[in-house]
Structure formats: C-alpha cells, structure tokens
A = this chain, B = another copy of it.
Amino acid sequence: MTEFNLLFNALAITEEHLKEDIQRTGVVQTVPKNSFIVEQHKYIKWLALVISGKVRVWQENEDRQILLYYVHPIQTCVLSLSATFRDCKSIINAKTEEETTIIKIPVRYVSEWSFKYKSWNRFTTHSFIMSYEDLLHSYKNLAFNKIDKRLLDYLRSFAQKNNSQSIDLSHNQLAKELGTTREVVSKILKQYELSGIVKLKFKQIELL
C-alpha cells in the first residue's frame, strides 16, 4: 500500500478530488533519525503528515527544554497546521526520533482544502481539538503537580504508549522531557526504586 493510501485510509478520505489534490501536491519523503522537521524561528512552508516513524515536538529556552508532544503515525504537528493558516515563523522545534516517512503538503493548500473538502475539514479541526486538549492537560499538570509526580506520570504514559513496562531513556533525556535537570531525575528515580515502584538499569527503567 502506498503512503498516500495509508493516509487516505487513516483519515477516512473518500473524496476523489481531494485524493487527487493530495497526490498532486504532496511529496513523500523519508527522513533519517534526528532530522529537524520544523525549527524554531524559521518559516514553515510545508505541512508534514507523519506516515511512519516518530517526531518529537518541543520548546526551548537558553538552557532548558520541555516536551510538547510526539507526533505519531498518522498525525500532524498541529503547530505547523496553525502556521499554515497564516504565514508565520515556528515557535517550536520538531525532530525525528527515528527514521520517519512524511507526506509534505505546501501550506497554502491546507486552509483552502479545509473549506473545500469535508474530510479535510474534519481532519484539521480534529487535530486542533486534540492538540489543544493535550496541551491543556500538560499545562494543568505543570501548574499543579510536583516533578516527582510528573516524572512518574511520564514514565507510566510512556510505558503505556509503547506497550512495555521498561522505558529505555537516560535520566538526562527524561530531564529534558520534563524541563528539569538530570540530578533531580536521578534523585527521584532512586527514591522510587527504594519504594519498590521502579527498578533502575543502565539507560532503562522498569516499572514494577
């Protein structure tokens, strides 16, 4: 099955004209691990739809960074979506975490289609809503929870998403996801290990 067909199926796209439009204007591209898809302060020219692989989206300061979300198949980075509706610079970074295949669509079509094709309208709207609610949850989490809880939450949701009880991340990586520092993560994890909640290995954390 072609990448395009995968996309059409996943988004429940039935309109033949939309299919044609996407196939005519979209570009299939496979990018290696650790490539930037979107870079802070740069203009967004394409909407990237992830077909396979994984993309990490985050914000950064001088010395810290914080995860916003991951883009999995078949999703799009809602921020490039938003940029498509008014030409603007990116306020986030997005980088592949593994080899990733995307379909790139020039931004100017994205809003045009949202009025022209019902399924595209549904897709963009739905993406916005989901992303907004995700961000809202993150915001609430950040505002009200201490890092020990945020860390455990992160580990659990990571485990759930990957359908495995072990998390293959270094303390440093975890710190960056949560916007804190390595030492803090090490300390908390050690606490959790002493409480019998996790088991620590090299670059791996096992949830018990």
Interface residues of A (CB under 8 A from B): 59, 61, 64, 66, 68, 78-79, 82, 85-86, 91-92, 111, 114-115, 118, 121, 124-126, 128-129, 131-133, 135-136, 138-140, 142-144, 179
Contacts and interface: CB of A to CB of B under 8 A. Distances in A.
In the complex this chain forms, how many copies of it are found? 2
A90 to B, nearest CB: 11
Given A59-B140, A115-B118, A142-B142, A132 B78 contact: yes
A78 B125 CA distance: 12
A133 B126 CA distance: 17
A92 B125 CA distance: 20
A143 B82 contact: no
A121 B115 contact: yes
B111 A59 contact: no
B128 A132 contact: yes
13 contacts: A61-B143, A66-B140, A66-B143, A66-B144, A68-B139, A82-B128, A82-B132, A85-B129, A115-B115, A115-B118, A128-B132, A139-B139, A139-B142
